[in-house]
Chains A and B, each alone.
Chain A
Amino acid sequence: MSISRRNFLAAAALPAALAAPRISHAQAGAGRVVIIGGGFGGASAARFARDNFPALDVTLIEPSRSFTTCPYGNLVLAGRRDMNSITFGYEKLAARAVRVVHQSVVAVDTAAKQVRLADGAQVPYDRLIMSPGIDLRWGAIEGYDEAASERMPHGWVPSLQPISLLRRQLEAMPDGGNFIMVIPDNPFRCPPGPYERISMVADYLKRAKPRSKLIALDAKNGFSKQPLFQDAWAELYPGIIEWRGASSDGRVMRVNAAAMEVETEFGEKLKGAIVNVIPPQMAAKIARDAGLANQSGWCPIKPATLESTQVEGIHVLGDATIAAPMPKSGFVASSHAKHAVACIAASLAGRAPPAATFFNTCYSHVGPEYGISIVGVFRSGPNGFAEVEGSGGVSPRNAAMTAERRKEQRQLEALYADGWYQSITDEMFG
Protein backbone atom coordinates (compact mmCIF):
# COMPACT_ATOMS: atom_id res chain seq x y z
CA MET A 1 0.00 0.00 0.00
CA SER A 2 1.43 3.35 -1.00
CA ILE A 3 1.60 6.29 1.36
CA SER A 4 -0.94 8.22 -0.66
CA ARG A 5 -3.37 5.33 -0.53
CA ARG A 6 -2.95 5.09 3.24
CA ASN A 7 -3.46 8.85 3.56
CA PHE A 8 -6.58 8.65 1.50
CA LEU A 9 -8.10 5.87 3.55
CA ALA A 10 -7.25 7.69 6.76
CA ALA A 11 -8.68 10.93 5.40
CA ALA A 12 -11.89 9.26 4.41
CA ALA A 13 -12.27 8.09 8.04
CA LEU A 14 -14.26 5.08 7.04
CA PRO A 15 -15.61 2.30 9.19
CA ALA A 16 -13.18 -0.62 8.95
CA ALA A 17 -15.87 -2.82 7.41
CA LEU A 18 -16.19 -0.54 4.39
CA ALA A 19 -12.52 0.10 3.90
CA ALA A 20 -11.49 -3.51 4.41
CA PRO A 21 -12.49 -5.42 1.28
CA ARG A 22 -9.49 -4.97 -0.99
CA ILE A 23 -10.05 -6.02 -4.54
CA SER A 24 -7.45 -8.37 -5.89
CA HIS A 25 -6.45 -7.42 -9.41
CA ALA A 26 -6.27 -11.10 -10.21
CA GLN A 27 -10.08 -11.18 -10.01
CA ALA A 28 -11.64 -10.94 -13.49
CA GLY A 29 -12.83 -7.43 -14.29
CA ALA A 30 -11.68 -6.02 -10.95
CA GLY A 31 -10.45 -2.46 -10.61
CA ARG A 32 -10.75 0.81 -8.76
CA VAL A 33 -13.35 3.15 -10.25
CA VAL A 34 -13.33 6.72 -8.98
CA ILE A 35 -16.36 8.88 -9.75
CA ILE A 36 -16.12 12.67 -9.43
CA GLY A 37 -19.48 14.35 -8.88
CA GLY A 38 -22.54 13.08 -6.98
CA GLY A 39 -25.42 14.33 -9.13
CA PHE A 40 -27.63 12.33 -11.50
CA GLY A 41 -24.62 11.02 -13.45
CA GLY A 42 -22.27 10.24 -10.58
CA ALA A 43 -24.82 8.78 -8.17
CA SER A 44 -26.31 6.61 -10.93
CA ALA A 45 -22.84 5.39 -11.92
CA ALA A 46 -22.02 4.41 -8.33
CA ARG A 47 -25.28 2.53 -7.82
CA PHE A 48 -25.12 0.79 -11.21
CA ALA A 49 -21.53 -0.32 -10.62
CA ARG A 50 -22.39 -1.76 -7.21
CA ASP A 51 -25.52 -3.56 -8.44
CA ASN A 52 -24.03 -5.08 -11.56
CA PHE A 53 -20.26 -5.34 -11.21
CA PRO A 54 -19.33 -6.48 -7.69
CA ALA A 55 -15.65 -6.81 -8.69
CA LEU A 56 -15.43 -3.02 -9.03
CA ASP A 57 -14.17 -0.98 -6.09
CA VAL A 58 -16.23 2.22 -6.20
CA THR A 59 -15.34 5.63 -4.74
CA LEU A 60 -17.66 8.62 -5.16
CA ILE A 61 -16.14 12.06 -4.52
CA GLU A 62 -18.64 14.85 -3.92
CA PRO A 63 -17.96 17.94 -1.76
CA SER A 64 -21.59 18.41 -0.70
CA ARG A 65 -23.21 16.16 1.91
CA SER A 66 -26.61 16.48 0.26
CA PHE A 67 -27.88 16.86 -3.28
CA THR A 68 -30.81 19.09 -4.20
CA THR A 69 -32.16 18.10 -7.59
CA CYS A 70 -32.73 20.64 -10.35
CA PRO A 71 -35.80 18.67 -11.46
CA TYR A 72 -38.76 19.63 -9.26
CA GLY A 73 -37.06 22.86 -8.18
CA ASN A 74 -39.71 24.68 -10.20
CA LEU A 75 -42.42 23.00 -8.13
CA VAL A 76 -40.75 24.33 -4.97
CA LEU A 77 -40.89 27.75 -6.59
CA ALA A 78 -44.63 27.35 -7.16
CA GLY A 79 -45.10 26.29 -3.52
CA ARG A 80 -46.22 22.81 -4.57
CA ARG A 81 -43.21 20.98 -3.03
CA ASP A 82 -40.77 21.77 -0.24
CA MET A 83 -36.97 21.76 -0.39
CA ASN A 84 -36.70 18.70 1.84
CA SER A 85 -38.65 16.61 -0.64
CA ILE A 86 -36.09 17.32 -3.39
CA THR A 87 -32.95 16.98 -1.25
CA PHE A 88 -31.15 13.66 -0.77
CA GLY A 89 -28.18 12.31 1.20
CA TYR A 90 -25.48 9.80 0.26
CA GLU A 91 -25.95 7.46 3.25
CA LYS A 92 -27.72 4.73 1.28
CA LEU A 93 -25.02 4.68 -1.39
CA ALA A 94 -22.42 4.38 1.38
CA ALA A 95 -24.42 1.50 2.87
CA ARG A 96 -24.16 -0.22 -0.52
CA ALA A 97 -20.38 -0.18 -0.10
CA VAL A 98 -19.74 2.87 -2.24
CA ARG A 99 -16.85 4.74 -0.62
CA VAL A 100 -18.34 8.25 -0.41
CA VAL A 101 -15.76 10.99 0.14
CA HIS A 102 -17.04 14.51 0.87
CA GLN A 103 -14.08 16.49 -0.42
CA SER A 104 -13.36 18.82 -3.33
CA VAL A 105 -11.07 17.59 -6.07
CA VAL A 106 -8.24 20.04 -6.71
CA ALA A 107 -6.39 18.17 -9.47
CA VAL A 108 -6.50 15.09 -11.66
CA ASP A 109 -3.11 13.55 -12.43
CA THR A 110 -3.82 11.39 -15.46
CA ALA A 111 -0.19 10.20 -15.77
CA ALA A 112 -0.08 8.86 -12.20
CA LYS A 113 -3.80 7.91 -12.37
CA GLN A 114 -4.73 9.65 -9.16
CA VAL A 115 -6.98 12.43 -7.97
CA ARG A 116 -5.80 15.00 -5.42
CA LEU A 117 -8.33 16.21 -2.86
CA ALA A 118 -8.54 19.56 -1.06
CA ASP A 119 -7.24 17.98 2.15
CA GLY A 120 -4.12 16.76 0.32
CA ALA A 121 -5.12 13.10 0.06
CA GLN A 122 -4.42 11.27 -3.20
CA VAL A 123 -7.04 8.84 -4.53
CA PRO A 124 -5.61 6.29 -6.99
CA TYR A 125 -7.81 4.88 -9.75
CA ASP A 126 -7.78 2.37 -12.56
CA ARG A 127 -10.66 4.11 -14.34
CA LEU A 128 -12.00 7.62 -13.75
CA ILE A 129 -15.54 8.89 -14.34
CA MET A 130 -16.22 12.61 -14.26
CA SER A 131 -19.78 13.81 -13.90
CA PRO A 132 -18.91 17.38 -13.03
CA GLY A 133 -22.08 19.28 -13.94
CA ILE A 134 -22.03 22.90 -14.98
CA ASP A 135 -20.77 26.32 -13.99
CA LEU A 136 -22.49 29.60 -14.76
CA ARG A 137 -20.61 31.99 -17.03
CA TRP A 138 -20.37 35.01 -14.77
CA GLY A 139 -20.03 38.19 -16.83
CA ALA A 140 -21.35 36.63 -20.07
CA ILE A 141 -24.29 38.96 -19.54
CA GLU A 142 -22.64 42.28 -18.64
CA GLY A 143 -23.11 43.03 -14.93
CA TYR A 144 -24.30 39.55 -14.04
CA ASP A 145 -21.71 38.27 -11.58
CA GLU A 146 -21.93 36.33 -8.34
CA ALA A 147 -22.72 39.49 -6.34
CA ALA A 148 -25.52 40.44 -8.75
CA SER A 149 -27.01 36.97 -8.35
CA GLU A 150 -27.75 37.78 -4.69
CA ARG A 151 -30.36 40.28 -5.94
CA MET A 152 -31.17 38.60 -9.24
CA PRO A 153 -31.14 34.87 -8.42
CA HIS A 154 -30.50 32.26 -11.09
CA GLY A 155 -31.97 29.26 -9.24
CA TRP A 156 -30.19 27.05 -11.75
CA VAL A 157 -27.43 25.41 -9.71
CA PRO A 158 -29.27 24.49 -6.53
CA SER A 159 -26.23 23.35 -4.59
CA LEU A 160 -24.77 26.87 -4.82
CA GLN A 161 -27.87 28.97 -4.62
CA PRO A 162 -31.00 27.30 -3.33
CA ILE A 163 -34.13 27.94 -5.27
CA SER A 164 -35.57 28.95 -1.91
CA LEU A 165 -34.10 32.47 -2.39
CA LEU A 166 -36.23 32.92 -5.48
CA ARG A 167 -39.19 31.43 -3.65
CA ARG A 168 -38.81 33.95 -0.79
CA GLN A 169 -38.67 36.84 -3.28
CA LEU A 170 -41.79 35.54 -5.00
CA GLU A 171 -43.69 35.35 -1.71
CA ALA A 172 -42.53 38.86 -0.71
CA MET A 173 -43.38 40.45 -4.08
CA PRO A 174 -46.37 42.84 -3.96
CA ASP A 175 -49.36 41.92 -6.11
CA GLY A 176 -48.87 43.75 -9.40
CA GLY A 177 -45.06 43.41 -9.43
CA ASN A 178 -43.44 42.06 -12.59
CA PHE A 179 -41.40 38.87 -12.66
CA ILE A 180 -38.71 39.09 -15.35
CA MET A 181 -36.98 35.93 -16.52
CA VAL A 182 -33.80 35.99 -18.62
CA ILE A 183 -33.23 32.80 -20.66
CA PRO A 184 -29.98 31.83 -22.45
CA ASP A 185 -29.23 30.54 -25.93
CA ASN A 186 -28.46 26.83 -26.47
CA PRO A 187 -26.80 24.75 -25.15
CA PHE A 188 -27.73 24.89 -21.48
CA ARG A 189 -28.82 22.59 -18.65
CA CYS A 190 -32.39 21.29 -18.92
CA PRO A 191 -33.75 22.71 -22.22
CA PRO A 192 -37.44 22.71 -21.12
CA GLY A 193 -36.56 23.93 -17.60
CA PRO A 194 -37.03 27.68 -18.10
CA TYR A 195 -40.45 27.07 -19.68
CA GLU A 196 -41.58 24.77 -16.90
CA ARG A 197 -40.44 27.57 -14.57
CA ILE A 198 -42.51 30.13 -16.50
CA SER A 199 -45.50 27.80 -16.10
CA MET A 200 -44.98 27.18 -12.39
CA VAL A 201 -44.41 30.88 -11.60
CA ALA A 202 -47.55 31.74 -13.59
CA ASP A 203 -49.42 29.08 -11.61
CA TYR A 204 -48.36 30.83 -8.40
CA LEU A 205 -49.11 34.33 -9.73
CA LYS A 206 -52.58 33.27 -10.86
CA ARG A 207 -53.36 32.02 -7.35
CA ALA A 208 -51.51 34.55 -5.17
CA LYS A 209 -50.61 37.66 -7.22
CA PRO A 210 -53.32 37.96 -9.88
CA ARG A 211 -52.26 41.49 -10.92
CA SER A 212 -48.64 40.47 -11.56
CA LYS A 213 -47.15 39.61 -14.95
CA LEU A 214 -44.28 37.42 -16.10
CA ILE A 215 -42.05 38.70 -18.89
CA ALA A 216 -39.65 36.09 -20.34
CA LEU A 217 -36.75 37.48 -22.37
CA ASP A 218 -35.18 34.72 -24.44
CA ALA A 219 -31.87 34.80 -26.35
CA LYS A 220 -33.26 32.35 -28.94
CA ASN A 221 -36.28 32.09 -31.20
CA GLY A 222 -37.55 28.64 -30.34
CA PHE A 223 -37.49 26.23 -27.43
CA SER A 224 -38.20 22.68 -26.29
CA LYS A 225 -41.87 21.59 -26.43
CA GLN A 226 -42.71 25.17 -27.52
CA PRO A 227 -46.16 24.58 -29.09
CA LEU A 228 -47.24 22.48 -26.10
CA PHE A 229 -46.10 25.09 -23.59
CA GLN A 230 -47.65 27.96 -25.53
CA ASP A 231 -50.97 26.13 -25.97
CA ALA A 232 -51.04 25.51 -22.22
CA TRP A 233 -50.10 29.10 -21.34
CA ALA A 234 -52.96 30.43 -23.47
CA GLU A 235 -55.34 27.94 -21.88
CA LEU A 236 -54.26 28.14 -18.23
CA TYR A 237 -52.66 31.58 -17.78
CA PRO A 238 -54.25 34.02 -20.26
CA GLY A 239 -52.80 37.53 -19.96
CA ILE A 240 -50.12 36.56 -17.43
CA ILE A 241 -47.17 35.46 -19.61
CA GLU A 242 -45.33 37.46 -22.26
CA TRP A 243 -42.54 35.47 -23.98
CA ARG A 244 -40.17 37.38 -26.29
CA GLY A 245 -37.70 35.52 -28.51
CA ALA A 246 -34.45 36.88 -29.96
CA SER A 247 -36.13 38.28 -33.08
CA SER A 248 -38.51 40.28 -30.84
CA ASP A 249 -35.58 41.82 -28.98
CA GLY A 250 -35.62 39.16 -26.27
CA ARG A 251 -31.85 38.89 -25.91
CA VAL A 252 -30.62 40.53 -22.70
CA MET A 253 -27.13 42.07 -23.04
CA ARG A 254 -26.60 43.62 -19.60
CA VAL A 255 -28.18 43.87 -16.19
CA ASN A 256 -28.06 46.47 -13.42
CA ALA A 257 -28.67 44.59 -10.21
CA ALA A 258 -28.83 47.74 -8.02
CA ALA A 259 -31.64 49.12 -10.20
CA MET A 260 -33.26 45.66 -10.76
CA GLU A 261 -33.09 46.48 -14.46
CA VAL A 262 -32.21 44.50 -17.60
CA GLU A 263 -31.29 45.89 -21.02
CA THR A 264 -32.01 44.14 -24.33
CA GLU A 265 -29.96 43.97 -27.52
CA PHE A 266 -31.71 47.03 -28.98
CA GLY A 267 -31.48 49.00 -25.78
CA GLU A 268 -34.89 48.57 -24.20
CA LYS A 269 -34.69 48.73 -20.41
CA LEU A 270 -37.11 46.77 -18.25
CA LYS A 271 -37.45 46.83 -14.46
CA GLY A 272 -38.71 43.88 -12.47
CA ALA A 273 -39.82 43.37 -8.88
CA ILE A 274 -38.04 40.05 -9.35
CA VAL A 275 -35.37 39.38 -11.98
CA ASN A 276 -34.49 35.71 -12.47
CA VAL A 277 -31.41 35.45 -14.67
CA ILE A 278 -30.54 32.03 -16.10
CA PRO A 279 -27.13 32.88 -17.56
CA PRO A 280 -25.09 31.06 -20.23
CA GLN A 281 -23.25 28.00 -18.90
CA MET A 282 -20.24 25.73 -19.42
CA ALA A 283 -18.74 22.53 -18.06
CA ALA A 284 -17.81 22.80 -14.35
CA LYS A 285 -14.36 24.05 -13.35
CA ILE A 286 -12.90 20.67 -12.40
CA ALA A 287 -13.59 19.40 -15.94
CA ARG A 288 -12.09 22.51 -17.54
CA ASP A 289 -9.05 22.36 -15.24
CA ALA A 290 -8.51 18.72 -16.18
CA GLY A 291 -8.38 19.74 -19.84
CA LEU A 292 -11.62 17.98 -20.76
CA ALA A 293 -13.38 21.01 -22.28
CA ASN A 294 -12.66 22.44 -25.72
CA GLN A 295 -12.97 26.11 -26.73
CA SER A 296 -16.77 25.84 -26.53
CA GLY A 297 -16.50 25.33 -22.76
CA TRP A 298 -18.07 21.87 -23.02
CA CYS A 299 -16.46 18.40 -23.08
CA PRO A 300 -16.22 16.43 -26.34
CA ILE A 301 -16.56 12.64 -25.88
CA LYS A 302 -16.21 9.46 -27.92
CA PRO A 303 -19.71 8.21 -28.81
CA ALA A 304 -18.96 4.52 -28.27
CA THR A 305 -17.57 4.75 -24.72
CA LEU A 306 -18.14 8.35 -23.51
CA GLU A 307 -14.39 8.73 -22.97
CA SER A 308 -12.97 12.20 -23.35
CA THR A 309 -11.50 12.93 -26.79
CA GLN A 310 -9.19 15.44 -25.08
CA VAL A 311 -7.70 13.34 -22.27
CA GLU A 312 -7.14 9.58 -22.50
CA GLY A 313 -8.78 7.35 -19.92
CA ILE A 314 -11.45 9.64 -18.45
CA HIS A 315 -15.15 8.97 -19.05
CA VAL A 316 -17.24 12.16 -18.96
CA LEU A 317 -20.99 12.15 -18.30
CA GLY A 318 -24.03 14.31 -18.29
CA ASP A 319 -24.57 18.03 -18.66
CA ALA A 320 -20.86 18.85 -19.09
CA THR A 321 -20.59 16.84 -22.32
CA ILE A 322 -21.18 17.64 -25.97
CA ALA A 323 -23.70 14.92 -26.71
CA ALA A 324 -26.37 16.48 -28.94
CA PRO A 325 -29.02 15.52 -29.92
CA MET A 326 -29.22 14.17 -26.37
CA PRO A 327 -30.37 16.97 -24.04
CA LYS A 328 -28.60 18.01 -20.84
CA SER A 329 -31.05 16.21 -18.55
CA GLY A 330 -30.89 14.10 -15.41
CA PHE A 331 -32.27 11.06 -17.21
CA VAL A 332 -29.59 11.32 -19.91
CA ALA A 333 -26.84 11.74 -17.30
CA SER A 334 -28.09 8.57 -15.61
CA SER A 335 -28.17 6.77 -18.96
CA HIS A 336 -24.62 7.95 -19.74
CA ALA A 337 -23.54 6.70 -16.32
CA LYS A 338 -24.72 3.15 -16.87
CA HIS A 339 -23.08 2.89 -20.26
CA ALA A 340 -19.77 4.31 -19.02
CA VAL A 341 -19.70 1.85 -16.10
CA ALA A 342 -20.47 -1.08 -18.43
CA CYS A 343 -17.67 0.07 -20.77
CA ILE A 344 -15.26 0.26 -17.84
CA ALA A 345 -16.22 -3.20 -16.58
CA ALA A 346 -15.79 -4.62 -20.10
CA SER A 347 -12.45 -2.90 -20.54
CA LEU A 348 -11.11 -4.15 -17.19
CA ALA A 349 -12.17 -7.67 -18.18
CA GLY A 350 -10.47 -7.29 -21.57
CA ARG A 351 -13.71 -7.24 -23.53
CA ALA A 352 -15.07 -4.90 -26.19
CA PRO A 353 -17.50 -2.18 -25.01
CA PRO A 354 -21.22 -3.02 -25.13
CA ALA A 355 -23.45 -1.51 -27.81
CA ALA A 356 -24.64 1.95 -26.78
CA THR A 357 -28.32 2.82 -26.40
CA PHE A 358 -29.24 5.91 -24.42
CA PHE A 359 -32.60 7.05 -23.12
CA ASN A 360 -34.31 10.27 -22.15
CA THR A 361 -37.72 10.86 -20.69
CA CYS A 362 -38.32 14.39 -19.59
CA TYR A 363 -41.60 15.60 -18.13
CA SER A 364 -42.58 19.20 -17.48
CA HIS A 365 -45.31 20.34 -15.12
CA VAL A 366 -47.29 23.07 -16.83
CA GLY A 367 -50.12 23.35 -14.31
CA PRO A 368 -51.94 21.31 -11.68
CA GLU A 369 -52.72 17.93 -13.25
CA TYR A 370 -51.23 19.13 -16.53
CA GLY A 371 -47.98 17.46 -17.63
CA ILE A 372 -46.20 17.22 -20.98
CA SER A 373 -43.15 15.25 -22.06
CA ILE A 374 -40.37 14.71 -24.52
CA VAL A 375 -38.75 11.30 -24.90
CA GLY A 376 -35.84 10.01 -26.94
CA VAL A 377 -33.88 6.85 -27.65
CA PHE A 378 -30.37 7.41 -28.98
CA ARG A 379 -27.53 5.31 -30.38
CA SER A 380 -23.87 5.96 -30.94
CA GLY A 381 -22.50 6.20 -34.45
CA PRO A 382 -18.95 6.65 -35.74
CA ASN A 383 -19.18 10.45 -35.63
CA GLY A 384 -21.62 11.17 -32.86
CA PHE A 385 -25.00 10.37 -31.41
CA ALA A 386 -28.28 10.01 -33.29
CA GLU A 387 -31.88 9.64 -32.25
CA VAL A 388 -33.42 6.35 -33.41
CA GLU A 389 -35.47 7.22 -36.47
CA GLY A 390 -39.23 7.11 -35.95
CA SER A 391 -38.96 7.07 -32.16
CA GLY A 392 -39.11 9.76 -29.52
CA GLY A 393 -40.74 13.17 -29.71
CA VAL A 394 -43.17 15.23 -27.67
CA SER A 395 -46.70 14.74 -26.32
CA PRO A 396 -49.53 15.26 -28.83
CA ARG A 397 -50.93 18.78 -29.18
CA ASN A 398 -54.41 19.62 -27.97
CA ALA A 399 -55.84 19.74 -31.47
CA ALA A 400 -54.75 16.14 -32.10
CA MET A 401 -56.98 14.74 -29.33
CA THR A 402 -60.60 14.68 -28.25
CA ALA A 403 -61.35 16.86 -25.21
CA GLU A 404 -61.75 13.78 -23.06
CA ARG A 405 -58.50 12.16 -24.21
CA ARG A 406 -56.66 15.48 -23.85
CA LYS A 407 -57.62 15.81 -20.20
CA GLU A 408 -56.61 12.23 -19.52
CA GLN A 409 -53.27 12.57 -21.37
CA ARG A 410 -52.25 15.74 -19.46
CA GLN A 411 -53.38 14.32 -16.10
CA LEU A 412 -51.55 11.04 -16.65
CA GLU A 413 -48.35 12.80 -17.71
CA ALA A 414 -48.42 14.98 -14.57
CA LEU A 415 -48.92 11.82 -12.49
CA TYR A 416 -46.18 9.96 -14.38
CA ALA A 417 -43.82 12.90 -13.90
CA ASP A 418 -44.12 12.38 -10.15
CA GLY A 419 -43.59 8.65 -10.65
CA TRP A 420 -40.49 9.28 -12.77
CA TYR A 421 -39.08 11.57 -10.08
CA GLN A 422 -39.69 9.00 -7.36
CA SER A 423 -38.20 6.14 -9.39
CA ILE A 424 -35.04 7.89 -10.53
CA THR A 425 -34.26 9.44 -7.14
CA ASP A 426 -34.93 6.08 -5.42
CA GLU A 427 -32.55 4.44 -7.84
CA MET A 428 -29.78 6.93 -7.03
CA PHE A 429 -30.29 7.62 -3.34
CA GLY A 430 -32.68 4.92 -2.06
Chain B
Amino acid sequence: MHLKIRLCFLFLTATPAFAQAADTPLLIGGCQGCHGASGQGAQGIPSIKANHSRDEFIAIMRAFGANERPATVMGRISRGYTPEQIALLAAHYARPQ
Protein backbone atom coordinates (compact mmCIF):
# COMPACT_ATOMS: atom_id res chain seq x y z
CA MET B 1 0.00 0.00 0.00
CA HIS B 2 2.73 2.34 1.00
CA LEU B 3 4.64 1.50 -2.20
CA LYS B 4 1.54 2.00 -4.32
CA ILE B 5 0.99 5.48 -2.93
CA ARG B 6 4.58 6.40 -3.58
CA LEU B 7 4.38 5.18 -7.18
CA CYS B 8 1.24 7.21 -7.74
CA PHE B 9 2.98 10.23 -6.34
CA LEU B 10 5.95 9.71 -8.65
CA PHE B 11 3.66 9.32 -11.62
CA LEU B 12 1.75 12.48 -10.82
CA THR B 13 4.87 14.57 -10.43
CA ALA B 14 6.67 13.08 -13.42
CA THR B 15 3.87 13.61 -15.92
CA PRO B 16 3.54 17.41 -15.81
CA ALA B 17 7.33 17.77 -15.87
CA PHE B 18 7.52 15.74 -19.06
CA ALA B 19 4.52 17.51 -20.56
CA GLN B 20 6.28 20.82 -20.04
CA ALA B 21 9.58 19.57 -21.41
CA ALA B 22 7.94 18.28 -24.56
CA ASP B 23 5.39 21.06 -25.04
CA THR B 24 7.58 24.13 -24.68
CA PRO B 25 9.86 23.49 -27.68
CA LEU B 26 6.75 22.83 -29.77
CA LEU B 27 4.79 25.82 -28.48
CA ILE B 28 7.60 28.29 -29.04
CA GLY B 29 7.70 27.18 -32.69
CA GLY B 30 4.86 29.62 -33.28
CA CYS B 31 7.06 32.43 -31.91
CA GLN B 32 10.40 31.38 -33.41
CA GLY B 33 9.15 31.50 -37.00
CA CYS B 34 9.16 35.31 -36.77
CA HIS B 35 10.92 36.32 -33.52
CA GLY B 36 13.91 34.05 -34.18
CA ALA B 37 15.29 30.87 -32.63
CA SER B 38 15.90 32.41 -29.22
CA GLY B 39 13.28 35.18 -29.46
CA GLN B 40 15.90 37.79 -30.30
CA GLY B 41 13.80 39.49 -33.01
CA ALA B 42 14.72 40.31 -36.61
CA GLN B 43 14.39 43.30 -38.97
CA GLY B 44 12.00 45.30 -36.86
CA ILE B 45 10.27 42.28 -35.30
CA PRO B 46 10.66 43.00 -31.59
CA SER B 47 12.77 40.86 -29.27
CA ILE B 48 10.64 38.85 -26.84
CA LYS B 49 13.60 37.43 -24.96
CA ALA B 50 13.90 38.29 -21.27
CA ASN B 51 12.25 41.70 -21.67
CA HIS B 52 9.46 41.19 -19.17
CA SER B 53 8.53 39.40 -15.98
CA ARG B 54 6.23 36.38 -16.32
CA ASP B 55 3.24 38.40 -15.13
CA GLU B 56 3.98 41.19 -17.61
CA PHE B 57 4.38 38.68 -20.45
CA ILE B 58 1.02 37.10 -19.62
CA ALA B 59 -0.64 40.51 -19.33
CA ILE B 60 0.75 41.56 -22.71
CA MET B 61 -0.51 38.40 -24.42
CA ARG B 62 -3.94 38.90 -22.84
CA ALA B 63 -4.02 42.53 -23.96
CA PHE B 64 -3.15 41.48 -27.53
CA GLY B 65 -5.96 38.92 -27.47
CA ALA B 66 -8.46 41.49 -26.20
CA ASN B 67 -7.40 44.04 -28.87
CA GLU B 68 -6.30 46.33 -26.05
CA ARG B 69 -2.72 46.62 -27.27
CA PRO B 70 -1.79 47.87 -30.76
CA ALA B 71 -0.73 44.95 -32.98
CA THR B 72 -0.25 43.89 -36.57
CA VAL B 73 -0.51 40.10 -36.21
CA MET B 74 -0.23 39.42 -32.45
CA GLY B 75 -3.91 39.98 -31.70
CA ARG B 76 -4.85 37.27 -34.18
CA ILE B 77 -2.11 34.93 -32.97
CA SER B 78 -2.48 35.32 -29.20
CA ARG B 79 -6.13 34.24 -29.30
CA GLY B 80 -4.95 30.81 -30.51
CA TYR B 81 -3.28 29.91 -27.19
CA THR B 82 -4.86 28.55 -24.02
CA PRO B 83 -4.03 30.28 -20.70
CA GLU B 84 -1.87 27.24 -19.83
CA GLN B 85 0.07 27.60 -23.08
CA ILE B 86 0.60 31.33 -22.48
CA ALA B 87 1.95 30.47 -19.01
CA LEU B 88 4.45 28.06 -20.60
CA LEU B 89 5.51 30.75 -23.10
CA ALA B 90 5.91 33.23 -20.24
CA ALA B 91 8.05 30.76 -18.29
CA HIS B 92 10.25 30.32 -21.35
CA TYR B 93 10.61 33.91 -22.54
CA ALA B 94 10.30 36.01 -19.36
CA ARG B 95 13.25 37.38 -17.41
CA PRO B 96 14.63 34.80 -14.99
CA GLN B 97 12.93 35.31 -11.63
Tell me the A residues contacting B by CB distance below 8 Å: 48, 51-52, 331, 334-335, 338-339, 342, 345-346, 351, 354-355, 357, 359, 361, 373, 375-377, 388, 390-393, 395, 409, 412-413, 415-416, 418-420, 422-424, 426-427
Contacts and interface: CB of A to CB of B under 8 A. Distances in A.
Nearest to B31: A359
B18 interface: yes
Given A357-B26, A390-B79, A418 B33 contact: no
B47 to A, nearest CB: 11
27 contacts: A335-B29, A335-B33, A338-B25, A339-B26, A351-B22, A354-B23, A357-B27, A359-B77, A377-B30, A377-B77, A377-B80, A377-B81, A388-B79, A391-B77, A391-B78, A391-B79, A412-B44, A413-B73, A415-B43, A416-B45, A416-B72, A418-B42, A419-B45, A420-B45, A422-B36, A423-B36, A424-B34
B95 interface: no
Nearest to A378: B80
B34 A395 contact: no
Nearest to B42: A419
B85 interface: yes
Nearest to A420: B34
Given A392-B76, A412-B72, A423-B36, A335 B30 contact: yes
B30 A423 contact: no
Given A338-B25, A418-B42, 12 more contacts: A331-B33, A334-B33, A335-B29, A342-B26, A357-B26, A357-B85, A373-B73, A392-B76, A412-B44, A419-B34, A422-B43, A424-B33
B29 A334 contact: yes
Contacts of A354: 19, 22-23, 26
A377 B77 CA distance: 7
Given A338-B25, A391-B79, A423 B73 contact: no
A418 to B, nearest CB: 5
Contacts of B53: none
A338 B26 contact: yes
Chain B, interface residues (CB within 8 Å), range:
20 to 34
A325 to B, nearest CB: 13
B42 A422 contact: yes
A313 B76 CA distance: 35
A88 to B, nearest CB: 15
Contacts of B59: none
Given A412-B44, A412-B72, A415-B44, A391 B29 contact: no
Interface string B62-80: 0000000000110011111
B44 A419 contact: yes
A291 B45 CA distance: 42
A423 B25 contact: no
B54 interface: no
Contacts of B44: 412, 415-416, 418-419
B79 A357 contact: no
A375 B80 CA distance: 10
